[in-house]
Amino acid sequence: MDQTLPWLLGGPPWVEYRARLDLLTQPEGDLQAQSARQAMLNHPQVQALLAELHGWPGRVLTSHKQAGHPLHKLVFLADLGLRAGDAGMDAIIDRILEHRSDAGPFQVLMNIPSHFGGSGEDQWAWALCDAPLLLYALLKFGLSGDSRLQEAVSYLAGLGRANGWPCAVSPELGRFRGPGRKEDPCPYANLVMLKALAEMDELRDSRASRTGAETLLSLWEHSREQHPYMFYMGNDFAKLKAPLVWYDILHVLDVLSQFPWLHEDARLQDMATIVLAKADRQGRFTSESVWKAWDEWDFGQKKTPSPWLTLVALRILKRLNV
C-alpha cells in the first residue's frame, strides 16, 4: 500500500477522496479530503451522472443487469460519497421518495414481459433485486432517520427466510419470478439486502444479516454444486469488475467485509486471497471484465491498472487485514 497510495491520491478526485477517508482514515472535515470532495463534485463525469439522474426514473428497467441504468448510476454516486444537500441531489432524492409502495419499499419504473409472468407494460413496482439498492442509496445519502426508510427496511428484512432472502416482487409484477426453484434463496437479493443492512448500525449484527451472510458464504463453499437462480461463482464471478453492479467477487467481498464478525471466516478470507493474487508488482489492480456503459471511466478498460478498482480492492483487503 505504501507504493500504491501516492498513485491513488494523484488519481481522479473521487479516488483521492475515498482513499483519504477509507484507506488513510482521515476525517471528513480534513482540508485535503474536503478539497478532493469538492473537486469530485465539480468533475464533468460526476456532473453528467447528476444531470442524467435529475430525470429520474429515466429509462424503464427491463433487466437488473443493465449496468448503465440510472438505478446503478444512483448507487455509484452513493458509493462515491454524495449526499443530500449536495448541489442537484435533493431534487433526485425527492423524485425517488415520490414513488413508494403501500408496503414500504421504494419503486422503480420497470417492464416485465408477459412471457416472463409480468404485464408487459411500464409500471411502478419493486423487486428484491432493486428495492434494497434504492434503500442503500438513500441511506448513504444521509436519510437514515427518515421514517419511510425505516418502514422500508423493516418490510424488506422481514421477507428473509431460514435460508436467506428469496426472489420476491411487489404485487404489480404478478407471477414474475427469476429462473429458479421457489424455495431457493436468490444470491443477488441476499447480496443487495446485506448491502443495505450494513449501513444500519442496529441491523448490522441482526439475525437477518447473519442468515444472509451465511447464505452467500455457503454458496461459495459449495459453488460447484449449488447455483440457485443460475448465479454461478466460477471464473466469470472471480473477474475483477467495477462499478459494483452485479454478482461478482468484488461486490460480494465489499459487502461481506463490512460485517466485522465475518472477518475471520475462512471462506471470506479465501475469496480475499484470490483478489490479492491479482495485484501487480506495484499493488495495483486492472479490470478483467468491463461494463460497456462505463467505458469513459478509469475502470472501463482492461489495458492499464484502474485507480478506482484498486481503491475498492485495497479497501476490502484493509478491512480483512489481508
For residue 180, CA distances in Å to 128, 130, 133, 161, 219 come to 14, 18, 22, 16, 15
CA 23 to chain centre: 19
What is the rounded average pLDDT for all residues in the chain? Answer: 95
Distances in Å between the Cα of 261 and the Cα atoms of 54, 166, 187, 188, 217 are: 38, 24, 20, 21, 13
pLDDT cut 90: percent of the chain above it: 91
Domains of the chain (ranges plus CATH)? 51-206 (1.50.10.20)
Q: Is 136 exposed, middle or buried (0-12, 13-18, 19+ CB in 10 A)?
A: buried
Q: Are 255 and 198 in contact (CB under 8 A)?
A: yes
Q: At what angle do helices 70-80 and 44-53 cross, to 10 degrees?
A: 130
Residue 116 is predicted with a pLDDT of 66
pLDDT band at residue 180, thresholds of 50, 70 and 90?
Answer: confident
- Position 117 scores a pLDDT of 65
pLDDT at 270: 98
How far apart CA 134 and CA 58 sit, in angstroms, is 14
Find out whether 203 and 157 touch, Cβ atoms under 8 Å: yes
How confident is residue 61, by pLDDT bands cut at 50, 70 and 90? very high
Alpha-helix runs per DSSP H in the chain: 4-9, 13-18, 31-42, 44-53, 70-80, 89-97, 131-140, 147-157, 187-197, 207-221, 249-256, 266-276, 307-320
The answer to whether residue 113 scores a pLDDT higher than 80 is no
- The three-class DSSP label of residue 267 is helix
Q: Is the pLDDT assigned to residue 267 strictly greater than 90?
A: yes
Instruction: Compute how many other C-beta atoms are within 10 angstroms of the C-beta atom of residue 19.
Output: 27
Are 76 and 92 in contact by the 8 Å Cβ rule? The answer is no
Max avg pLDDT among 76-85, 106-115, 176-185, 226-235: 76-85
Averaged pLDDT, 21-48? 98
Does the structure show a pLDDT above 90 at 320? yes
Note the pLDDT of residue 173. Answer: 85
Give the pLDDT score at 112.
77
User: What's the whole-model pTM score?
Assistant: 0.96
- pLDDT over 90 (residue 262): yes
Confidence of residue 172 (pLDDT cuts 50, 70, 90): confident
Does residue 250 carry a pLDDT above 90? Answer: yes
The CB-side HSE value for 294 (13 A sphere, CA atoms) comes to: 27
pLDDT, residue 158, reads: 97
pLDDT of 215 strictly over 90: yes
